[in-house]
Amino acid sequence: MGKTQRPIQIAPSVLAADFGHLADAVATVEEAGADLLHLDVMDGHFVPNLSLGVPVVASIRKLTDLPLDVHLMITDPAKYAPAFADAGADNITFHIEVADQPRKLISQIRDLDVRVGVSLNPGTPPEDVLEIVADVDLVLVMTVWPGFGGQEFIADCLPKIEVLAGQIRADQMLQVDGGIDEDTTISVVTAGADTLVAGSAIFGSREPGAALHRLRQMALDARAAAEPTA
C-alpha cells in the first residue's frame, strides 16, 4: 500500500488554542516539532459554527514558517480560496460535499500556487473522491462531523481510511481530523493515515509540546507494528 513511504506528520489544530495567546501557542508547537499548522475556517453555513478567517491566517503567517494547512469548511471555497492564498496558506482543502465540479475547483485552487486538498465528511463514501484523488495533494478524512473541536472519534470512518490509503501515492498526504488523541492514534495509523490533525489532544493538554511528542511516538510505533521491516 506504500504506507511506509509517507512520513508521519503532526498538524496541531489551532481551533483548540487560546486565541488570546495565539503567538505563544504557535511558538510552542513549532518548537515541539509540529509539521504543519492546521487552521479551521467555518462559515456558519456548511457547518453550524464560525471560527477564524483571512485576517487571522495572515497574522499567523507572520508568526511562523510552518506550512499553513487551511481547512475550508465553507460552502463556497472557490470564492474565498484566493484570499486565503494571499494570506499565506500553503495547503487549501475544500469539502467534496460542496463541489459540483471538483476538477474545476482543484485547478482553480492550484492556480493560486498552493497545494490542494479534498475532505470527506463522516457520511461521505470514499467512492465520491476516487476519481479525483490522483489530482490532489492531500486527502482529509473527517473522523468527526466538522464544526467543533473536542468531539468523540467516529470509528466507522476507519474502513474509509483503509480504502483511501490504498489509493494515494507516496507524495500525497492522508490526513485524519477529529477526535485524534492517545486513544485513537493507533487505529488511524494502522488503517493507513499519515498526518494527524489534533486540536484538543495538543492544546487542551497542560503541556502541548509533550502531548505532541507522545502522539508522534505513538504514531511511529503503530506504523512500525503495522508494517515491520523485513
Among 77, 88, 126, 149, binds ligand DX5 (CB under 6 A): 149
**99-124 as b/e: b if 16+ CB within 10 A:** beebeebbebbeebebbbbbbbbeeb
CA distance 93 to 91: 6
Judged by beta carbon distances under 5 to 8 A according to partner kind, the member of Zn ion, ligand DX5, none in contact with residue 179 is ligand DX5
Return the exposure string of 206-230: e unless at least 16 CB atoms fall within 10 Å of the residue's CB, then b.
Answer: eebbebbebbbebbeebbeeeeeee
Q: Which position has the grid cell 488554542?
A: 17
Q: Is 71 in the site for Zn ion (CB under 5 A)?
A: yes
Selecting among 35, 40, 69, 181, the annotated active-site residue is 40
Kind of pairing, strands 68-73 and 91-95?
parallel
Our finding on whether 177 is near Zn ion (CB under 5 A) is yes
Which positions from 33 to 52 touch Zn ion by CB under 5 A, shown as an x/- string? -------x------------
Active site residue 177: yes
**Residue 155 neighbours by CB under 8 Å, 6+ apart:** 187
Instruction: For residue 196, state whether it binds ligand DX5 (rule: CB under 6 A).
Output: no
137 is catalytic: no
In the list ligand DX5, Zn ion, none, the entry touching 16 (Cβ below 5 to 8 angstroms by class) is: ligand DX5
Angle between helices 22-31 and 208-226 (to 10 degrees): 40
Partner in contact with 139, chosen from Zn ion, ligand DX5, none, beta carbon below 5 to 8 Å by kind: none
Query: Residues in the site for ligand DX5, rule: CB under 6 A?
Result: 13, 15-16, 38, 40, 71, 144, 146-151, 177-180, 197-201
Query: Residues in the site for Zn ion, rule: CB under 5 A?
Result: 40, 71, 177
| Active site (catalytic) residues | 40, 177
